[in-house]
Structure 1
Amino acid sequence: MDTLTQLRSASPYLQRCDTPIGRIEVASDGDAITAVAIEHNGSLPHDGLAYDSNAVADEAIAQLLDYFEGYRRGFSVPVAHRGTPFQLAVWQQLARLRWGQVTTYGAIAAAVGKTGSGRAVGGAIASNPTPLLVGCHRVLSATGRITGYSWGEGVKTKAWLLDHESIGHA
C-alpha cells in the first residue's frame, strides 16, 4: 500500500483553506479532527490527495477562519490524538490554554509530574498533531522567548499567532 493510500485510510476526510499564515489542511476520521497542518515552503503534507471533506472537517475550517478573522477565541470541534501517555498528558495541558494565555515548558513539565523535563515537553509539543486547535504556539521559554515552532514557517508563524492573540514575547 502506498503512502497516500495509507494516509487516506487513516484519516479519510480532508479539507484545506487559505489563511494569513499560509494554507491550512485538516484531516478527520469522520468523528474528530486527527491532524492539522500549516503550509511549509509552499506545501502541505497531503497535497497529493484530493479534498474529500465531511461535516467535522468543514466545521474545523470554519472555526479556524473565524479565529483568523478575530471572531473566534476557542474551538469546539472534537480532536482525536494518538500518542504516548506522556505526549497525551502534555497535549491535555495545551488544550487547557485559552486565547491570550501563555505558559512555559517548565510549567507544563511540572503540571504533568515531570519537573525538570522541559526538553521532553518541547518534543511532545513539537509533535502535537493538531496545532492551532490545541494551541502549542502559546508556550514560551521561562524568559518569554520564542524558542521554536514546528509548523508553518517556524518562529515567524509562531510570532504571528502570538501577536494575533496579543501575547507578549521576546
Structure 2
Amino acid sequence: MHGSATPLSASSASAWLLVLLCAVSGAYCLLRARRAGRRTRGMAAGEAVMGFGMAAMAVPSGTGPWGPQILVAVCCGASVHALWLLRGGVHHAHHLVGTLAMVYMALSMTAGHGHARAGLPVVTGVLLLYYAGYVLLGGARLVTAGGPLSVPAGEAGPGAAGAGELVRACRLAMGTGMLAMLLSM
C-alpha cells in the first residue's frame, strides 16, 4: 500500500510495523481457527486470511508484478467465504465489509502497478468512516472488557483464560491496520 522508501525512513518503519502487526494477528487467528470448534472455525480462518492479506498489502516495496492480481483473487475468495458465513447471522457482515475493502484496495494496487493508487473518493470515504467507527467502538469495548466476555467461548479456543480480550485486541489491531491502509490511499 506504500510507495518505495529508504530503509531508514519513518514511513518505511511504520509500514514494516503494520506488516508485523497484521502478520501476528493473522497467525493468532490461524491458531485460533485450528483450536476452535466447528461453529467458529470459519470466522477465525477468515480473520487469518485478512491478517495475512493485509500484511502482504502493507509491504513497503510492493508485492511484485503478480502480487496485486493474486491479492485480488484471494480477497475475492475471502469475500465469497464471508457471504457463506452470513447464513449464520448478520453479525458476520463485518467480515464481508472487510474482504470487500481488501478487494477494493487490491484493485487499486493493480491499477497502480503494485502500489496503492487513489481509489474512488466516495468509496474510500465510506470505508474510512466505517473503520474509524469500528476502531473507536472496538477500543471502547476493549477498555471495558473487565466484565463478562461477549466473545463466544468456543471462538477463543478451549481453556484459554483471557483469550476473549486477546481476540478483541486482534480484531482492533486489524481494524486499525485497515484504517491506516485506507488513509494511505
Tell whether the structures are fold-level matches, with TM greater than 0.5: no
Give the number of the structure whose residues are more often strand, by fraction: 1
Which structure has the higher relative contact order (CA within 8 Å, separation 6+)?
Answer: 2
Give TM-score scaled by structure 2 length: 0.27
If each structure's helix is expressed as a fraction of its own residues, which one has the higher value? 2
